[in-house]
Amino acid sequence: MKQAKVPTDQEIKRLLALVQQERHAARNRLALMLSMYAGMRVGEIAQLTWGDLLDIDGGIRDQIRLSSEITKGGHARTVFVGDKLRRELERYRMSFEGRLPTPEKPLLLTQKRTAFSPNTLCQLFAQLYEQAGIDGASSHSGRRWFITRLAHSGVSPKVIMTLAGHKHLTTTQRYIDVNDEMMRAAVEVL
């Protein structure tokens, strides 16, 4: 089975620039960022609620707890919110101008104001990548970018495996992309 393409930095810039011009820019950008900066699967993103992200005071949580009901494999896991993702979540929250939905409401809504299904969100990702001209990209591309970026930044394989929600290191290793530029940089370390 062919794996989803891991976008280059240039392709990501092009994708985000395109998204900024779209009708649902804030929503679409957040969906992509949750994939890229939290390594979340499309099914997990689709099922997020406001209560998953906001603490009792309305602030962004440091961690997002994914219940076993929404994760692949049925194992609950914790997603950590880094600074870039936090800024994106705050930007999205501010777009609601003080009229935040209740905690049980879906974080991302379709044009019809209903929750995304994993399949519908998958289709949105594919459409965005296609419009940005990124061949071979899919809803899994952001997740692969997340795992690849961590691996090439020297993060421990065990930490990456845990962040990805994988049970086996071999699964995590299949997500890591290698290209000529990375190999060239590796030999320059010597």
Q: Is residue 96 part of a domain?
A: yes
Largest Cα–Cα distance of the chain, in whole Å? 56
Q: Is residue 2 part of a domain?
A: no
Domain, as residue range, for 120: 9-188
Q: What's the structural domain count of the chain?
A: 1
Q: Is residue 166 part of a domain?
A: yes
Q: Is residue 1 part of a domain?
A: no
Q: Do the Cβ atoms of 97 and 84 come closer than 8 Å?
A: no
Q: Is residue 178 part of a domain?
A: yes
Q: What is the pLDDT of residues 7-55, one digit of tens each?
A: 998 999 999 999 999 889 999 999 999 999 999 999 999 999 999 999 8
Q: What CATH number does residue 75 fall under?
A: 1.10.443.10
1 pLDDT more than 70: no
Q: What is the pLDDT of residues 122-178, one digit of tens each?
A: 999 999 999 999 999 999 999 999 999 998 888 999 999 999 888 888 888 888 878
The residue written with tokens 């994988």 in the block is 166
